[in-house]
Chain A
């Protein structure tokens, strides 16, 4: 137990991972700042300094499309773009994102490459439970914007940070290849 009364490490199942509950423990500092999210300015009031971007998006701002399957940087369900760079938002301090442009699946835009990715995911059955899907849509849109002609090995390596437990990835690959085929 430390001076602001937060628990760590000694309670199985109650001690880890809950970003909102635990972030900031040990710093004792609360801060307010602005985030640029999906083209809008959002005020984050009275957050713990060490809260993750994922925690702030979900628990302070109600941005629920950003998912929280592991909160450890291992699954990609919380993928967003920060100044155009793909990040796992659970591994980014929200306060570090102040001043940066944060793009979630909702901010990828209604047209252009994101629209093609959305349509292909639906048409090719790349969605089952859907929990991984917003993160995948962000990651795939980012990949195809940077490397539209990526070959299969490159696609697979680039997306290895996004876990899907349902699809076995086959329909996700099919969706990506269909987008590439349409462009050619």
Chain B
């Protein structure tokens, strides 16, 4: 779509002028500071006289450590402390799900970049000199980097870690494993390693406290999980570890795990001085877990009329050296492997294994983007084999309420898959390439100056669904406090306190909208997110609007209740009304209104007696653990997304230009149209990146491109305007019927772009990201595009 505002905007009328409650495109409360550059990110924080801390990392993917000599480093001028494994006073290991990762490697390193020591020095230069002066005697060992080898030898041969080499395996069985349809397609697929590449690198400011604890300001996704792990490794009670969220420059899953937190806390305790620890881009790439690379195999069978009969799949995820969230990622990959389709007979065998590659964990989509690439490629091949339109094949097989998932779980809630795929299929297509198309609109832009005659147009579709919130019986909750009080100017205001990590997604905006809607006040202040209140859970799994939004709403509703009770008492109403004030009283426009008498009490009068406060904990419905056969009511809810991608491919240069993307996404209800659109567009861009360019290349366990020079991210020239349509069906059990919107679009964007490229060049593409060499042929050889679609330049 050439014009970003030309379509799909009807449901996004900006009502900001009409109020700041839910449903409005309210701008971010931190927006002006971020625009002016005064918003303090973790890496911007400093204290006069603070120390500077840095980490020493292994250059080898696997090695025995014979000896670490830190004496020379300690003697250098300006060096305050050098710490290694022997200096960790508490638990020697940490981890999100299982504590299998050493704070510092002791006898053995298991991946390139594994921390071996850390230093604190009076300035950054002295810290770097100290790192260079630490003498580590490594005996390199052969690195195990092929996950298939671990699966084939059964994992326990040559254990890389006392916990073994298999983080988890799941063998899902649903229906009759022998059942087959008459039409069959099968193939293997590969997904490369994607990085979250948030822009603000890891950083924390740590201050030791008089009680032997620490105060830390840190960019993270989950303050309470960090606190628990820091306290365990420091060997001190959790209440002596106080964390406050510092400004976070993006996250996308990459800040769910501990990176520099324990190192910084330990150095602050050892030196007794405040310090800053931070990563540069190279260290960020080496320091946090990535998206799991995957090897996939599928066999789909269907009836001649295009009804899916069976899906057999094999999913192998490379978890790298430590567990991180691998077990949960595998459960997602396996349970979503056949996609959002009704499949009577499903067999999925999945493994996530330990190797000497970099650890992998959470990234937007959490196991689903990998399998979505595979199952959508399969649906297109099946459509080909059946001679059927790929949209029609999907339409015939989508899940609907009342259907049963491969886990045996019943689809109970709205799942507008058919609507989603039909919506994107009906959006207007962009104009075809012609001789009049300016060169700047062709693949490669002005620099490549493509020949329009060698450009092929392709259109591709993909459909995906993604679970929301935590699965498998996890007791997930979020806590929030809301206080209604008189501000210094005597007007009522609400103060919201939650430990929810604002990483850019816009919780701070939504929280204010919720409180304004429930309490009718204009002024809402957000207290800093910290560990002085109970956990809000992580900013992940598309869960914060639902979970922490739910907690904020519950606390606001209780505040309103208490306020009305106070009003009933003030008005001298009978005790049964005081106990249940909503029978007679309502809160409207900053006043208490007695419905029958018409009496009005201004909020400010009531609050003169003191603030009204409530703390509430919000939980989602309970789910079950996943059984050994992959069965169980494991997921809370799902969101649906369909993309249509249109691409132009220069078949000589191997360049792709994504001409347009259309997205229909199931969002529950819309709380902030502008923020929603931002999530849909951002999620789409990350899926596009995985399709076409983003890969952390790991060769023999060594990361080859840990810089923005060589890890290529989508720019504004790569990402077209998104033609976005929000599908609204209220989600039962969620505040205001909302669904999390961060992830679904990432899952469908990648396969849609690949499908479009495949359609353009008439070649199977079994790997993402697609590389130029996958698209061009040696000179002299006819390109399949010339054989298959001689007139494809005409577009879609």
Contact of A168 (CB < 8 Å), options: B200, B201, B281, B719: B719
Closest to B38 in A: A65
In the complex where A67-B199, A153-B438, A162-B716 touch, is A124 in contact with B707 (Cβ < 8 A)? no
Whether the pair A174, B57 counts as a contact (CB closer than 8 A) is no
Cβ of A109 to closest chain B Cβ, rounded Å: 12
List A6-59 residues whose CB lies under 8 Å from chain B: 6-7, 10-18, 20-22, 59
A153 to B113, CA, bound (A): 40
Residues of B within 8 A of A67 (CB): 37, 41, 199-200, 249
Whether the pair A153, B5 counts as a contact (CB closer than 8 A) is no
Residues of A within 8 A of B44 (CB): 64
Residues of B within 8 A of A163 (CB): 199, 708, 713, 715
A140 to B58, CA, bound (A): 41
In the complex where A70-B708, A171-B678 touch, is A17 in contact with B282 (Cβ < 8 A)? yes
Whether the pair A134, B35 counts as a contact (CB closer than 8 A) is yes
Contact of A74 (CB < 8 Å), options: B445, B709, B719: B709
In the complex where A69-B201, A70-B281 touch, is A127 in contact with B28 (Cβ < 8 A)? yes
Q: For the complex, is B532 an interface residue (Cβ under 8 Å from A)?
A: no
Residues of A within 8 A of B280 (CB): 16-18, 68, 71
Interface string of B674-708 (1 = CB under 8 A from A): 11011011111110000000000000000000011
Whether the pair B681, A171 counts as a contact (CB closer than 8 A) is yes
List B440-464 residues whose CB lies under 8 Å from chain A: 440-441, 445-446
Whether the pair A72, B722 counts as a contact (CB closer than 8 A) is no
Closest to A121 in B: B35
Closest to A77 in B: B199
Whether the pair A171, B248 counts as a contact (CB closer than 8 A) is no
Q: For the complex, is B173 an interface residue (Cβ under 8 Å from A)?
A: no
Residues of A within 8 A of B506 (CB): 128
Residues of A within 8 A of B36 (CB): 65, 105-106, 118, 134
Whether the pair A171, B198 counts as a contact (CB closer than 8 A) is no
In the complex where A121-B35, A124-B674, A130-B30 touch, is A160 in contact with B715 (Cβ < 8 A)? yes
Q: For the complex, is A81 an interface residue (Cβ under 8 Å from B)?
A: no
In the complex where A18-B124, A130-B39 touch, is A13 in contact with B113 (Cβ < 8 A)? yes
List B722-750 residues whose CB lies under 8 Å from chain A: 722
A64 to B505, CA, bound (A): 22
Contact of A127 (CB < 8 Å), options: B34, B55, B248, B686: B34
Closest to B716 in A: A169
Q: For the complex, is A165 an interface residue (Cβ under 8 Å from B)?
A: yes
Residues of A within 8 A of B23 (CB): none
Cβ of B131 to closest chain A Cβ, rounded Å: 4
A71 to B282, CA, bound (A): 10
Whether the pair A122, B35 counts as a contact (CB closer than 8 A) is yes
Q: For the complex, is B71 an interface residue (Cβ under 8 Å from A)?
A: no
Q: For the complex, is B510 an interface residue (Cβ under 8 Å from A)?
A: no
Q: For the complex, is B190 an interface residue (Cβ under 8 Å from A)?
A: no
In the complex where A12-B113, A168-B682, A168-B685 touch, is A127 in contact with B31 (Cβ < 8 A)? yes
Cβ of A158 to closest chain B Cβ, rounded Å: 9
A15 to B684, CA, bound (A): 34
Residues of B within 8 A of A171 (CB): 674, 677-678, 681
Interface size class of B (residues with CB under 8 A): 35 or more
Whether the pair A173, B708 counts as a contact (CB closer than 8 A) is no
Whether the pair B709, A72 counts as a contact (CB closer than 8 A) is yes
Among the interface residues B37, B55, B281, B441, which one has the most CB atoms of the partner chain A within 10 A? Answer: B37
Whether the pair B249, A170 counts as a contact (CB closer than 8 A) is no
Contact of A157 (CB < 8 Å), options: B31, B41, B286, B446: B446
Whether the pair A133, B34 counts as a contact (CB closer than 8 A) is yes
Residues of B within 8 A of A84 (CB): none
Residues of B within 8 A of A105 (CB): 35-37
Q: For the complex, is B140 an interface residue (Cβ under 8 Å from A)?
A: no
Cβ of B191 to closest chain A Cβ, rounded Å: 20
List A100-117 residues whose CB lies under 8 Å from chain B: 104-106
Q: For the complex, is A137 an interface residue (Cβ under 8 Å from B)?
A: yes
Residues of A within 8 A of B621 (CB): none
A121 to B197, CA, bound (A): 22
Whether the pair B132, A1 counts as a contact (CB closer than 8 A) is yes
Grouping DSSP codes into helix (H, G, I), strand (E, B) and loop, the A interface class, with mixed when no group exceeds half, is loop
A71 to B287, CA, bound (A): 17
Whether the pair B252, A165 counts as a contact (CB closer than 8 A) is yes
Q: For the complex, is A166 an interface residue (Cβ under 8 Å from B)?
A: yes
Q: For the complex, is A61 an interface residue (Cβ under 8 Å from B)?
A: no
Q: For the complex, is A172 an interface residue (Cβ under 8 Å from B)?
A: yes
Q: For the complex, is A95 an interface residue (Cβ under 8 Å from B)?
A: no
List B12-58 residues whose CB lies under 8 Å from chain A: 25, 27-28, 30-41, 43-44, 54-58
Closest to B502 in A: A129
Whether the pair A153, B440 counts as a contact (CB closer than 8 A) is yes
Q: For the complex, is A145 an interface residue (Cβ under 8 Å from B)?
A: no
Among the interface residues B38, B58, B680, B708, which one has the most CB atoms of the partner chain A within 10 A? Answer: B708
List B130-182 residues whose CB lies under 8 Å from chain A: 131-132
Contact of B57 (CB < 8 Å), options: A12, A68, A125, A170: A12
A70 to B706, CA, bound (A): 10
Cβ of A117 to closest chain B Cβ, rounded Å: 8
A128 to B196, CA, bound (A): 15
Residues of A within 8 A of B718 (CB): 160
A167 to B43, CA, bound (A): 21
Whether the pair B199, A131 counts as a contact (CB closer than 8 A) is yes
Residues of B within 8 A of A165 (CB): 196-199, 250, 252, 682, 686, 713
Q: For the complex, is B599 an interface residue (Cβ under 8 Å from A)?
A: no
A102 to B43, CA, bound (A): 23
Closest to B26 in A: A125
Q: For the complex, is B129 an interface residue (Cβ under 8 Å from A)?
A: yes
Q: For the complex, is A97 an interface residue (Cβ under 8 Å from B)?
A: no
Contact of A173 (CB < 8 Å), options: B4, B196, B438: B4
Q: For the complex, is B2 an interface residue (Cβ under 8 Å from A)?
A: yes
Q: For the complex, is B504 an interface residue (Cβ under 8 Å from A)?
A: yes
Q: For the complex, is B472 an interface residue (Cβ under 8 Å from A)?
A: no
Q: For the complex, is B721 an interface residue (Cβ under 8 Å from A)?
A: yes
In the complex where A5-B129, A171-B677 touch, is A177 in contact with B34 (Cβ < 8 A)? no
Residues of B within 8 A of A162 (CB): 715-716
A67 to B43, CA, bound (A): 9
Q: For the complex, is A152 an interface residue (Cβ under 8 Å from B)?
A: yes
Residues of B within 8 A of A10 (CB): 59, 132
Q: For the complex, is A66 an interface residue (Cβ under 8 Å from B)?
A: yes
Q: For the complex, is B128 an interface residue (Cβ under 8 Å from A)?
A: yes
Contact of B716 (CB < 8 Å), options: A75, A118, A156: A156
Residues of A within 8 A of B709 (CB): 70, 72, 74
Q: For the complex, is A132 an interface residue (Cβ under 8 Å from B)?
A: yes
Q: For the complex, is A83 an interface residue (Cβ under 8 Å from B)?
A: no
In the complex where A77-B199, A122-B28 touch, is A16 in contact with B707 (Cβ < 8 A)? yes
Closest to A70 in B: B708
A156 to B720, CA, bound (A): 9
Residues of A within 8 A of B40 (CB): 64
A82 to B42, CA, bound (A): 27
Contact of B32 (CB < 8 Å), options: A106, A122, A161, A167: A122
> Mind listing 24 A-B residue pairs with CB under 8 Å?
A7-B129, A11-B59, A13-B279, A14-B54, A17-B281, A17-B282, A17-B707, A66-B37, A67-B199, A69-B281, A70-B708, A118-B35, A127-B34, A128-B250, A129-B198, A131-B41, A133-B35, A154-B440, A165-B197, A166-B678, A167-B681, A170-B678, A173-B4, A177-B5
Contacts beyond the supplied A65-B37, A74-B709, A168-B686: 10 A-B pairs with Cβ under 8 Å: A6-B132, A12-B286, A18-B128, A129-B198, A129-B251, A157-B717, A163-B199, A170-B719, A171-B681, A172-B716
The 4 closest A-B pairs by CB, nearest first: A65-B37, A130-B34, A129-B504, A7-B132
Interface residues of B (CB under 8 A from A): 2-5, 25, 27-28, 30-41, 43-44, 54-59, 112-113, 123-125, 127-129, 131-132, 196-201, 247-252, 279-283, 286-287, 438, 440-441, 445-446, 503-506, 674-675, 677-678, 680-686, 707-709, 713-719, 721-722
